C-alpha cells in the first residue's frame, strides 16, 4: 500500500463529504435526525487537520490517526463506527498489503461496534458488497453507486432509521451514501 495514495484518498473523501454535507444531512433528515452531513464534515475536516499537523508516514499510522480523530471528534453514531473501521484497518495494514483484507478488518470493526448485519440498512450494506466486488475484481465507481442505491428498498432494523420501521423504505441510508463516497474516492485516488 502506498502512503501517498492513502493520504490522497482521505483528502478526496474530506472534500467530497464537505461538498455533499447538505445532501447527507437531508438524507438523514428523512429517516434520522438530520445531522449526518454535519457529523461527517466535522469529522473529516478534523481528520485532515490532524494529518497536516502530524504527517503520519505509514499506512497503519495514517489509518490510526484517521480512526482516533473520527472517534473523538464526531458525536453521532457514525464517528465511532467510521473510527472503528479505520482503527481496524490500521491494525490490518501492519501485517497485510492487501486492500480487500484491510477493508475486511474495517468492516469487522464496524460490525463489532454496531452489531449490524447485511440487510439492516446501514453503512454495512455498502461496505460488505464493495469488499465482495473488490475481491471479485469488478469494483468500479458505477458498481459502488449501484450498491448504495440498493439500500433504498431495505427496511431499517438498526440505527435511528429503525424507529421508522417500514417508513424507512424508499430512502437511501445516509451512512451507506457517505461510505459510497469513501469507496469512490478510494478508486479515484488509485489506492
Query: With binding defined as CB under 5 A, does residue 173 bind Mg ion?
Result: no
Nearer to Mg ion, 28 or 173 (CB): 28
CB of 30 to ligand ADP, least distance (A): 11
Instruction: Give 32's DSSP letter.
Output: S
CA distance 104 to 141: 19
Chosen from ligand ADP, Mg ion, none, partner binding at 110 (C-beta under 5 to 8 Å by type): ligand ADP
CB neighbours of 94 closer than 8 A, spacing ≥ 6?
60
Instruction: Give 76's DSSP letter.
Output: S
User: Buried (b) or exposed (e) across 81-107, using 16+ Cβ within 10 A?
Assistant: bbbbbbbbbbbbbeebeebbbbbbbbb
CB of 175 to Mg ion, least distance (A): 9
CB of 32 to ligand ADP, least distance (A): 5
CA distance 103 to 174: 20
Nearer to Mg ion, 92 or 116 (CB): 116
Contact with Mg ion (CB under 5 A) among 12, 32, 73, 177: 32
Query: With binding defined as CB under 5 A, does residue 180 bind Mg ion?
Result: no
Nearer to ligand ADP, 90 or 124 (CB): 124
Amino acid at each position: 500500500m502506498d502512503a501517498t495514495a492513502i493520504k490522497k484518498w482521505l483528502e478526496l473523501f474530506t472534500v467530497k463529504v464537505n461538498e455533499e454535507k447538505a445532501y447527507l444531512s437531508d438524507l438523514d433528515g428523512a429517516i434520522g435526525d438530520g445531522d449526518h452531513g454535519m457529523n461527517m464534515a466535522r469529522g473529516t475536516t478534523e481528520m485532515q487537520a490532524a494529518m497536516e499537523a502530524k504527517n503520519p508516514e505509514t499506512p497503519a499510522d495514517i489509518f490510526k490517526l484517521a480512526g482516533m480523530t473520527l472517534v473523538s471528534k464526531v458525536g453521532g453514531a457514525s464517528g465511532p463506527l467510521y473510527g472503528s473501521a479505520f482503527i481496524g484497518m490500521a491494525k490490518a495494514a501492519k501485517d497485510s498489503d492487501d486492500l480487500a483484507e484491510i477493508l475486511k478488518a474495517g468492516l469487522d470493526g464496524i460490525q463489532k461496534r454496531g452489531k449490524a448485519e447485511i440487510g439492516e440498512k446501514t453503512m454495512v450494506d455498502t461496505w460488505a458488497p464493495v469488499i465482495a466486488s473488490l475481491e471479485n475484481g469488478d469494483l468500479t465507481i458505477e458498481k459502488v453507486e449501484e450498491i448504495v442505491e440498493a439500500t433504498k428498498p431495505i427496511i431499517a432494523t438498526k440505527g435511528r432509521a429503525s424507529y421508522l420501521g417500514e417508513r424507512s423504505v424508499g430512502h437511501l441510508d445516509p451512512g451507506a451514501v457517505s461510505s459510497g463516497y469513501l469507496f469512490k474516492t478510494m478508486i479515484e485516488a488509485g489506492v
